[in-house]
Amino acid sequence: MIDKKLWRTMDWALYLVYLGLSLFGVLMIASASQNNALGDPAFFWTRQSVWVILGQVVLLIALRFDYRFFARMSIPIYVLTIGLLLGVLAVGVTVGGAQRWVNLGFFTFQPSEFAKIAVIVTLAAHIEKLGAVDTYYRLAQVILHVAVPIALIVVQPDLGTALVFLGIMAAVLYAAELPRRLIAFLGASAVVLAPVVWSFGLRAYQRARLLVFIDPSLDRMGTGFHLMQSIIAVGSGMLAGQGLFAGPQSQLNFLPEQHTDFIFSVIGEELGFFGTAMVLVAMFFVVYRCLQVAALAKDDFGRYIAVGVASWIAFQLIVNTGMTVGMMPVTGLPLPFLSYGGSSYLALSLGIGLVLNVGMRHRKILF
């Protein structure tokens, strides 16, 4: 049981906005998948409803333990995460040319989603143990800590998810007050390595996605088609939208992956500028409250967890929404809390649970 005194410091605003986004996501998935290829209009939204319910259970479990417990368990968590990522490469299910899932029969599990929160927790514990990342040796330790799961995810291949880890690492290092000379070193290293990564680290389709981002006409029937249909959908929504369950692009299946990667395009088409603005305000509120929890955290471990979760949500929000309007390359990153997917939603719920945990225990309870 959770001590009743702890509920007094619960960030109910953060929880209620998270829950509201989750329920809104179920509604938009129902609209986006009315005419799905399976022929069952209720298939996706009913399953997402189950994930939302299970997400509340996961969140409560995260609140049950003092978050310092996860610092003590950081090594087993990290080892388990690496084991799961290796397991995907050994027995994973291949879908669309990518081997990212493990079929458990009742649930297709995506370890890379849970690896995000696992890396946040273990990285927070690692940096707290180091005390300060103020030397090249300590910086190398942090980079190696994140590089191992990144390498295993890139092999799947899943470049978009790998970039999320880099965003999380950058945010946590900033929170750890990384010295300017080391920031300059990382920046210079990125510039030097960029041509090497482009030539040898990216697959042909990944380079094509980056080029199509610049000029969608380069691949009108592939990635460029996805991008152009998304821009049409968002633009046609104008101020108030075409109406819920009434978006031509999504209802007639011109918009690809409308219930997953391009759910924001459905919101733009059906609810217009007002609908998308509402979603963005709610999302940034979640990020803001996570950062507030970080500012009030009683120790560095809690602060790094809250910053890590905030950067995770912010990174995916910016990339996903930017992708739908042609401001970012097309990736497979889901829109937090709204895109269909059990692994993504449960992992995010665990992340929000840990942030709430840090907030609830930001000071000792005296009476």
Residue 364 has pLDDT above 60, yes or no: no
Question: Residues 122-169: pLDDT tens digits?
Answer: 999 999 999 889 999 999 999 999 999 999 998 888 888 999 999 999
Residue range 263-277: average pLDDT? 94
Question: Residues 214-241: pLDDT tens digits?
Answer: 766 666 666 677 788 888 888 888 998 8
pLDDT value of position 366: 37
In a domain, 366, yes or no: no
Q: Is 175 exposed, middle or buried (0-12, 13-18, 19+ CB in 10 A)?
A: buried
pLDDT value of position 226: 74
pLDDT value of position 237: 86
In a domain, 294, yes or no: yes
Residue 365 has pLDDT above 60, yes or no: no
- Measured CA to CA, the distance from residue 115 to residue 80 in angstroms comes to 9
pLDDT value of position 247: 84
Residue range 40-57: average pLDDT? 94
Higher pLDDT, 63 or 225: 63
Higher pLDDT, 121 or 209: 121
Residue 343 has pLDDT above 80, yes or no: yes
Residue 67 has pLDDT above 80, yes or no: yes
Number of domains in the chain: 1
pLDDT band at 47 (very low <50, low <70, confident <90, very high): very high
pLDDT value of position 156: 85
In a domain, 328, yes or no: yes
> Tokens standing for 317?
């929000």
pLDDT value of position 265: 93
Domain span at residue 345 reads: 4-360
* Residues whose CB is less than 8 angstroms from the CB of residue 340 and which lie 6 or more positions away in sequence, other chains included: 29, 33, 44, 47, 48, 259, 260, 263, 334
Exposed e or buried b for every residue in 82-112, given b needs 16+ CB within 10 A? Answer: bebbeebeeebeeeeeebbbbeeeebebbbb
In a domain, 85, yes or no: yes
Q: In angstroms, what CA-CA distances link 51 with 13, 45, 229, 320?
A: 21, 10, 29, 21
pLDDT value of position 196: 83
Question: Residues 97-115: pLDDT tens digits?
Answer: 678 888 777 778 899 999 9
pLDDT value of position 252: 78
Question: Residues 305-317: pLDDT tens digits?
Answer: 999 999 999 999 9
pLDDT value of position 363: 66
In a domain, 67, yes or no: yes
In a domain, 365, yes or no: no
pLDDT value of position 306: 97
* Average pLDDT over the chain, rounded to an integer: 89
Residue range 340-363: average pLDDT? 93
pTM value surpassing 0.85: yes
Supply the DSSP symbol for 3.
-
Terminal C-alpha separation, the chain: 18
Residue range 195-205: average pLDDT? 76
Share of the chain above pLDDT 70, in %: 94
pLDDT band at 193 (very low <50, low <70, confident <90, very high): confident
Higher pLDDT, 95 or 244: 244
pLDDT band at 249 (very low <50, low <70, confident <90, very high): confident
